[in-house]
Amino acid sequence: MIPQEIIRHKRDGLPLDEAAIGAFITGLSNGTISEGQVAAFAMAVWFSGMNRDETVALTLAMRDSGEVLDWSDLGRPVADKHSTGGVGDNVSLMLAPIAAACGLAVPMISGRGLGHTGGTLDKLESIPGYTINPSAALFRQTVRDAGCAIIGQTANLAPADRRLYAIRDVTATVDSQALITASILSKKLAAGLQSLVLDVKIGNGAFMANIKEAEGLARSLVDVANGAGVRTTALITDMNEPLADAAGNALEIESCLAFLRGEKAGSRLEAVVMSFAVEMLMTAGMASSPTEGQDLAARALSSGSAMEHFGRMVSLLGGPQDFTERPQAYLTKAPVMLPVEASQDGFLSLGDTREIGMAVIALGGGRTHPDEAIDHRVGFSQIKPVGSRLTKGEPIAFVHAATQEQAEAAQMRLLELYGIEADEPATGPVILSKIT
């Protein structure tokens, strides 16, 4: 089929066979299919969906559009984690070095921001010199010597996904189950993993709005990945408020370092990070029970070993050698910082987490088209968790902005999104269920 016939076929709700999907992905990879055709294909898939066989074919075609890595010489289990994205979700930054400190090899292929969600690569680019697209040799050296490397897709790793990923971000086709599944797993399968854990988020700050959608995506991911020979489980987690107490690139790096110093004990963020550390260790065969996994991860954190692995990763990938000791010397600050103050006494509530992510984009901390530069300095810090008891004038959060005008606009927007209630709002668990 020619590209327009493949698009028409899917637009009309008909299933595509493996040959048609493979032909389209080949054209996407070599540039013979235009950006407009890729966008039309993505929209057709968004409207019509894909069955399991189509999704497997799309995932494998995208995986095989480039190199598939082999880590058999490492002598350690090769594992990874992926999140479907949310606001203040910097879990990967802490989880990778914790897992590495426990003896896993973590070659983590990450992405930039999609829609309202922040991207792990954008956060790491806050660190001067950090190379998100290293050579294959440097990638291997970093995984071998630091135990983990968080990078973007190299030129030879799932190149079809790189192009489709960028176009989805600006064509309102991010939240397609088939496209999310293929995008996530094509990169992960190309990275040569033996095991994988997935964070499928649900709530008003996630792409999946309800439990049925989240479980459907988790099941799709788990089924396709296990079918391809990678041991995979998924946790469904709550995203009805920012996960970290920061939203914005450099600010989330600061939050990551605070976590690795042991300063986030008792938080929702800690619950998610440690749950995924346990899941990674058990899925990889490094722990035989949740208790053993929890103990291993806790020791990696409390001993400083996880922080050491993070610092080694940063240094090997071109960042400052003393970054973890002197982050303030390297992370640039926004020139304007304003408090967002509670208007009355009461308990903090929140209506729409997604809009907090959009407010970061409005400050310049995200993109509205694929090649747009972002301001790593801006965002929100010291965000109070929902249910916090506040007194009038107490900060709910702090705005970091490039200009006074932008700071005041973000300040007003956050006040519109949060509320102060007389009664403490009900809050649920952050880990909702597990898909195996």
Domain ranges of the chain: 3-49, 79-327, 332-421
Give the pLDDT score at 157.
Answer: 82
Which residue bears the tokens 């032909």? 23
Give the pLDDT score at 109.
Answer: 87
Q: Choose which CATH entry (3.40.50.720, 3.30.1540.10, 3.40.50.1100, 1.20.970.10) describes domain 3-49.
A: 1.20.970.10
Query: Is 344 in contact with 389 (CB distance < 8 Å)?
Result: no
> Does the 79-327 domain belong in CATH 3.40.1030.10?
yes
pTM value is: 0.88
Q: What is the pLDDT along the chain (436 residues), one digit of tens a residue?
A: 799 999 999 999 999 999 999 999 999 999 999 999 999 999 999 999 999 889 989 999 999 999 999 999 999 999 999 998 889 999 999 999 999 999 999 999 887 766 677 789 999 999 999 999 999 899 999 999 999 999 987 778 888 998 898 899 789 898 788 998 898 899 889 989 999 999 999 998 887 778 888 898 899 999 989 887 899 999 999 999 999 999 999 999 999 999 999 999 999 999 999 999 999 999 999 999 999 999 999 999 999 999 999 999 999 999 999 999 999 999 999 999 999 999 999 999 987 899 999 999 999 998 777 677 899 999 999 999 999 999 999 999 999 999 999 999 999 999 999 999 999 998 889 999 999 9
First CA to last CA distance, the chain: 37
Give the pLDDT score at 298.
Answer: 98
* Bridging pattern class, strands 106-109 and 148-151: parallel
Q: How many CB atoms lie within 10 A of CB 391?
A: 9
Q: Same topology for domains 3-49 and 332-421, yes or no?
A: no
Query: Is 185 in contact with 221 (CB distance < 8 Å)?
Result: yes
Give the pLDDT score at 115.
Answer: 65
Distance between CA atoms of 256 and 250, rounded to whole angstroms? 10
3-state secondary structure of 239: coil
CATH number given to 332-421? 3.90.1170.30
User: Shortest CA distance to 424 belongs to which of 394, 397, 389?
Assistant: 389
Tell me the two tokens of residue 434.
């597990």
User: Shortest CA distance to 395 belongs to which of 358, 420, 377?
Assistant: 420
Active site residues: 80-83, 120, 168, 183, 187-188
Distances (CA, A) of 104 to 22, 34, 287: 34, 41, 11
